[in-house]
Amino acid sequence: MTERTDTPTGHWIDGEVTPAGSAETIEVVNPANGEVVAETPAGTPADVDRAVAAARAAFPGWAATAPADRAAVVRRIADGLQARVEEIARVITAEMGAPLTLSRAAQAGFPILVARSFADLAADFAWTEEAGNSLIVHEPIGVVGAITPWNFPLQQIMSKVAPALIAGDTVVLKPSEAAPLTARILAEVTAEAGLPPGVFNVVYGTGPVVGEAMSAHPDIDMISFTGSTRAGRRISAVAAETVKRVALELGGKGALVILDDADLPEAVEVGLKRVFVNGGQVCGAWPRMLVPRARHDEIVALAVAAAARYTVGDPNDETTGVGPLASEAHRQKVEGYIERGIADGAKPVFGGPGRPEGREKGAYVRPTIFTGVDPDSAIAQEEIFGPVLTIIPYRDEDEAVEIANNTMYGLTGGIFGEPGHALEVARRLRAGQVDVNGGEWNPLAPFGGYKQSGNGREFGRLGLEEFLETKSIQR
């Protein structure tokens, strides 16, 4: 049996647990075994109204707080999260199935780095600027509605909450109903850090109810959303009625281009990790590996050998490399794509349909590598969001760039090759972030997409500017 986590008994509004307006609840299910680990309230539009009213009332005082003082609170929030890293990691593993080692290092660790990076930015940010006879002032936008996904639950929350707080905004958060539990931990930490009541609020619930109410709410000045492109389109349409700002970080179908002068074993190792980590449930993954035609078979052999070193199993086992997917519904979706790939003529050289051996229970799929993939087929064009890699050969670099850019997405990409050569090719990719030779993640670098991968940027100076209005004063 799975030990139940602390179940939120109400929303977090105006600095305290507030009873929900409805008795209806939503079960949080451990995807490793199908057991219910917690329940959250099913929020209503009335709950959203109460949270927005609290955020609106708290806004003048928080906006008037000096940026240095706002940054100090965010640093204390980061310290509070650091003190609860192990708890956070275990909660995330229970609610969405990330291997515990990943939960400690990334799921719990990255949000702390993000919070501290934004706190550091506050000191050097140009809150006011001179331009001729004008004073340009950067001011908080107001009440921010943050709607976050389940794949990196706390990381995605902090990517929005930290810059919003630094900017002087107040926040109403709707965490994913599938992975909502760290939102309560964060709420408790914000109170302990001295954040004034009403500055940060949490309303649990579904997208069609709570998310829709937030997107339409006339007293929410901005929606910051991370999730599917389909949901992003809906949020944009609803939010347009009140002409609020909308920042969207949506789907991806990144390509890793391996050049002929690349270190092939390193390129394949890094590329496969970007597909298998977190069960492939990463918008910035590289599920398409584009390889020189003459090196295709060599690279396939390296990929299959590397894949065999990933252990699929219990996410609480320290040796597990790939845990369950986040839900049974998502498992069925990914399994459907694997079956679709075979039906369309692709060949699974590793994995394939069906559950991994010994994993008849839980939301497990077999990590899969396909060859013989048509670049225009469903598995090469659509976001699978699972541990599925397609290896696609190219004739020359022009074709490689054409294939890489030939999807509706433009979130991330990767290049492996001689550094100068790889940089030249990286400039040709239509993606918001491109890594050369496995460049490390940088919380100061902007992240966001071209095309239908969204608009706006997260992290760094540009990520802070998303949450600010700009005023010019002529003198």
For the chain, give every domain's residue range: 10-250+453-474, 255-442
In the numeric block, the tokens 């760094």 are attached to 460
- 250 with 228: CB under 8 angstroms? yes
User: Can you tell me the distance from the alpha carbon of 380 to that of 388, in angstroms, rounded to the nearest whole number?
Assistant: 10
- Do 10-250+453-474 and 255-442 have matching folds? no
Nearest to 231 by CA among 215, 218, 253, 255: 215
The CATH architecture that domain 255-442 belongs to is 3-Layer(aba) Sandwich (3.40)
Catalytic residue among 283, 335, 383, 397: 283
User: Can you tell me the distance from the alpha carbon of 377 to that of 364, in angstroms, rounded to the nearest whole number?
Assistant: 24
- 290 with 400: CB under 8 angstroms? yes
User: Can you tell me the distance from the alpha carbon of 150 to that of 146, in angstroms, rounded to the nearest whole number?
Assistant: 13
- 261 with 418: CB under 8 angstroms? yes
What is residue 6's predicted lDDT score, i.e. its pLDDT?
61
User: Can you tell me the distance from the alpha carbon of 139 to that of 63, in angstroms, rounded to the nearest whole number?
Assistant: 8
Nearest to 327 by CA among 98, 22, 173: 98
User: Can you tell me the distance from the alpha carbon of 143 to that of 54, in angstroms, rounded to the nearest whole number?
Assistant: 10
* Residue 129 annotated in active site: no
What is residue 93's predicted lDDT score, i.e. its pLDDT?
98
What is residue 8's predicted lDDT score, i.e. its pLDDT?
75
Catalytic residue among 95, 249, 458, 466: 249
CA atoms within 13 A of residue 23's CA, in its CB half-sphere: 0
Which alpha helices (H) appear in 201-263, and where do they start and end? 212-216, 229-239
* Residue 283 annotated in active site: yes
What is residue 5's predicted lDDT score, i.e. its pLDDT?
59
User: What count of other Cβ atoms lies within 10 Å of the Cβ of residue 368?
Assistant: 28
- Torsion 280-282-283-285 (CA) sign: negative
pLDDT digit of tens for each residue in the chain (475 aa)? 345 556 677 999 999 999 998 999 999 999 999 999 999 999 999 999 999 999 999 999 999 999 999 999 999 999 999 999 999 999 999 999 999 999 999 999 999 999 999 999 999 999 999 999 999 999 999 999 999 999 999 999 999 999 999 999 999 999 999 999 999 999 999 999 999 999 999 999 999 999 999 999 999 999 999 999 999 999 999 999 999 999 999 999 999 999 999 999 999 999 999 999 999 999 999 999 999 999 999 999 999 999 999 999 999 999 999 999 999 999 999 999 999 999 999 999 999 999 999 999 999 999 999 999 999 999 999 999 999 999 999 999 999 999 999 999 999 999 999 999 999 999 999 999 999 999 999 999 999 999 999 999 999 999 999 999 999 999 9
The CATH architecture that domain 10-250+453-474 belongs to is 3-Layer(aba) Sandwich (3.40)
pTM > 0.75: yes or no: yes
